Amino acid sequence: MASKNGIDRQDEDEVCPVCKSSRYLNPNMRFLINPECYHKMCESCVDRIFSSGPASCPVAGCRKTLRKNRFRQQTFEDIGVEREVDIRRRVMHILNRREEEFDSKRAYDDFLEQREEIIANLVCRTDVAKTEAQLQAYAQENMQSIKANQLLEEQEATSFQKKILMEQEEARLRQQMAREEYENERREQQATREDFLTRLASGSSVDAAALAREGNKVHLKKSSARRSEEERIRQKQAALRGSEGKRTGTPLTTADTAGAVAGAGFIKGLRKIKTPEPEKPYDPFMGLVPGKRDYYTQLESYPYAFLDKLRADTTVQAGGYALQEYYSRTLLEAFAGLGCFVQEEVAERDATSALGLSKPASTEGAAMAAVGEKAA
Amino acid sequence: MKFFIDDLPVLFPYPRVYPEQYAYMCDLKKTLDAGGHCVLEMPSGTGKTISLLSLIVAYQQHYPEHRKLIYCSRTMSEIEKALAELKGLMKYRSKELGHDEEFRALGLTSRKNLCLHPSVKREKSGTVVDARCRSLTAGFVKEKKERGEDVDLCIYHENLDLLEPHNLVPPGVFTLDGLTRYGEEHKQCPYFSARRMMPWCNIIIYSYHYLLDPKIAERVSRELSKDCIVVFDEAHNIDNVCIESLSIDLSEDSLRKATRGATNLERKIEEMKSTDAEKLQNEYSKLVEGLQQAEQAREEDQFIANPVLPDDLLKEAVPGNIRRAEHFISFLKRFIEYLKTRMKVTHTISETPPSFLTHLKDLTYIERKPLRFCAERLTSLVRTLELVNIEDYQPLQEVATFATLVATYDKGFVLILEPFESEAATVPNPVLHFTCLDAAIAIKPVLDRFSSVIITSGTLSPLEMYPKMLGFTTVMQESYSMTLARRSFLPMIVTRGSDQAQVSSSFGIRNDPGVVRNYGTLVTEFARITPDGVVVFFPSYLYMESIISMWQGMGILDQIWNYKLILVETPDAQESSLALETYRTACCNGRGAILFCVARGKVSEGIDFDHHYGRAVLCIGVPFQYTESRILKARLEFLRENYRIRENDFLSFDAMRHAAQCLGRVLRGKDDYGVMVLADRRFERKRPQLPKWINQAMLDSETNLSTDMAVANAKNFLRTMAQPFKSKDQEGISTWSLADIERHEAKRKAEEARMMHGEVDPAQRANQIPSTLAIIEDEYDDDDIDADMLMLDAQ
Task: Give per-residue pLDDT as tens, B482-525.
Answer: 888 888 899 999 999 989 999 998 888 888 999 999 999 999 99
Q: Is A96 exposed, middle or buried (0-12, 13-18, 19+ CB in 10 A)?
A: middle
Residue of chain B with shortest Cα separation from A175? B637
Q: How far is CA A355 from CA A359, B429, B496, in A?
A: 13, 106, 120
Distance CA B203, CA B66 (A): 10
Q: Which residue of A has its CA nearest to B326?
A: A120
User: Which string of b and e fits B205-238 if b means at least 16 CB within 10 Å?
Assistant: bbbbbbbbbbbbbbebbbebeeebbbbbbbbbbb
Q: Do A216 and B780 count as a contact with CB atoms less than 8 A apart? A: yes
Contacts of B364 in chain A (CB under 8 A): 85, 88
CA B108 to chain centre: 16
Asked whether the beta carbons of residue B794 and residue A85 sit closer than 8 angstroms, the reply is no
**Which chain B residues are Cβ-neighbours of A76 within 8 angstroms?**
337-338, 340-341
Per CB-CB distance under 8 Å, the chain B contacts of A171 are 637, 641
- Tell me how far apart the terminal alpha carbons of chain B are, to the nearest angstrom: 56
DSSP, res A230? H
Contacts of A1 in chain B (CB under 8 A): 345, 349, 359
How many secondary structure helices (H) and strands (E) does chain B include? Answer: 35, 21
* pLDDT reported for residue A363: 46
Interface contact A171-B323, CB threshold 8 A = no
Residue to substitute from B291, B352, B359, B364, interface A, most A β-carbons within 10 A: B364
Smallest Cβ–Cβ distance between A84 and the set B321, B334, B646 belongs to B334
Would the CB atoms of B637 and A8 count as touching at under 8 Å?
no
Q: How far apart are CA A122 and CA A108, in angstroms?
A: 21
Cα separation values, B495 from B92, B530, B537, B691, Å: 49, 20, 16, 20
Contact A208 B794 (CB under 8 A): yes
Task: Say what the alpha-carbon torsion angle B375, B381, B383, B389 is, to the nearest 10 degrees.
Answer: -90
Instruction: Give the mutation candidate from A102, A113, A123, A217 for the B interface (greatest B CB count, under 10 A).
Output: A113
Do B593 and B567 meet the contact criterion of CB atoms below 8 Å apart?
A: yes
> Which is nearest to A108 in space by CA: B713, B555, B317, B219?
B317
Q: Which residues of A touch B273 (CB under 8 A)?
A: none
Contact B569, B602 (CB under 8 A): yes
Instruction: Work out the minimum CA distance from A50 to partner chain B, whole angstroms.
Output: 28
Residue B261: predicted pLDDT:
92
Contacts of A106 in chain B (CB under 8 A): 288, 317
Which residue(s) pair with B37 in the sheet? B474
Which DSSP letter does residue B2 get?
E
**CA separation for the pair A219, B777 (Å, rounded):** 13
Closest CA to A66 of A29, A41, A93, A91: A41
Residues B496, B503 contacting (CB under 8 angstroms) = yes
Q: Does B645 touch chain A (CB under 8 A)?
A: no
pLDDT digits (tens, 9 = 90+) for A164-184: 899 889 989 988 988 898 899
First-last CA distance in chain A: 88
Residues of chain B with CATH 3.40.50.300: 2-124+166-245+442-479, 489-725
pLDDT of residue B794: 40
- Structure confidence at residue B789 (pLDDT): 41
**Interchain contact, B365 vs A85, CB within 8 Å:** yes
Out of B259, B354, B359, whose CB is closest to A1? B359
CB pair distance less than 8 Å for A2 and B342: yes
Residue A253 has pLDDT above 60, yes or no: no
Instruction: Say how far apart CA A215 and CA A203 lie, in whole Å.
Output: 13
Residue of chain B whose alpha carbon sits nearest to that of A85: B364
Q: Cβ–Cβ of A8/B345 closer than 8 Å?
A: yes
Q: Which of A105, A175, A205 sits opposite B794 (nearest CB)?
A: A205
Helix axes B374-385, B325-343, angle to 10 degrees: 130
Model confidence, pTM:
0.79
pLDDT at A107: 86
Q: Do the Cβ atoms of B321 and A115 come within 8 Å?
A: yes
- Nearest-Cα distance to chain B for A14, in Å, is 16
Contacts of A339 (CB under 8 A, 6+ apart): A294
Q: Which residues of chain B have pLDDT under 50?
A: 299-302, 760, 762-795
A18 and A64 Cβ atoms separated by less than 8 Å:
no
**Contact map slice: B 359-378 vs A, CB within 8 A:** 359, 363-365
Show residues of chain B in contact with A112, CB under 8 Å. 319-321
**Residue of A78, A115, A220 lying closest to B337 (CB–CB):** A78
DSSP reduced 3-state for B344: coil
Instruction: Pick from A5, A75, A81, A155 the residue to mutate for testing the B interface (most B CBs within 10 Å).
Output: A81
Residues of chain A in contact with residue B320, where contact means CB-CB under 8 angstroms, are: 108-114, 116
- Chain B residues within 8 A of A31 when measuring between CB atoms: none
Q: Which of A12-26, A184-198, A269-283 is predicted most confidently?
A: A184-198
- Under an 8 A CB cutoff, do B333 and A164 touch? no
Interchain CB contact of B790 with A (< 8 Å): yes
Contact B327 A120 (CB under 8 A): yes
Tell me, rounded to whole angstroms, the distance of Cα B425 from its chain centroid.
33
* pLDDT higher than threshold 90 for residue A7: no
CA distance B239 to chain A (A): 24
DSSP sequence for A144-171: HHHHHHHHHHHHHHHHHHHHHHHHHHHH
Q: What is the ipTM of this complex?
A: 0.77
Q: CATH number of the domain at B489-725, out of 1.10.3720.10, 3.40.50.300, 3.20.20.80, 3.40.440.10?
A: 3.40.50.300
Q: Is B781 on the interface with A (CB under 8 A)?
A: no
Pairing status of strand B674-679 against strand B489-496? parallel
Q: Using CA atoms, how far apart are residues B754 and B293, in angstroms rounded to an integer?
A: 60
- Tell me the per-residue pLDDT of B258-310, one tens digit each, with 9 for 90 and over: 999 999 999 999 988 888 888 888 888 877 776 555 555 554 444 556 666 66
Per the CB < 8 A criterion, the answer to whether B432 and B415 are in contact is: yes
CA nearest to A120 within chain B = B327
Mutation target among A207, A216, A217, A267 for the B interface, most CBs of B within 10 A: A216
Q: What torsion, rounded to 10 degrees, do the Cα atoms B467, B468, B470, B474 define?
A: 20
| A22 burial via Cβ count (<10 Å: 0-12, 13-18, 19+) | middle
**Which of chain A's residues have a Cβ under 8 Å away from the Cβ of B791?**
208-209
Determine contact, residues A76/B336, Cβ cutoff 8 Å.
no
In chain A, the residue whose alpha carbon lies closest to the alpha carbon of B429 is A9
Residues 419-448 (B) with a CB less than 8 A from some CB of A: 428
A340-349, A351-360, B776-785: the lowest-pLDDT one: B776-785
How far is residue A44's CA from residue A21's CA, in Å, rounded to a whole number? 10
Contact residues on chain B for A88, CB-CB shorter than 8 A: 364-365
Which of the two residues, B302 and A111, has the higher pLDDT score?
A: A111
The domain made up of B2-124+166-245+442-479 has a fold known as: Rossmann fold (3.40.50)
B685 in contact with A at a CB cutoff of 8 Å? no
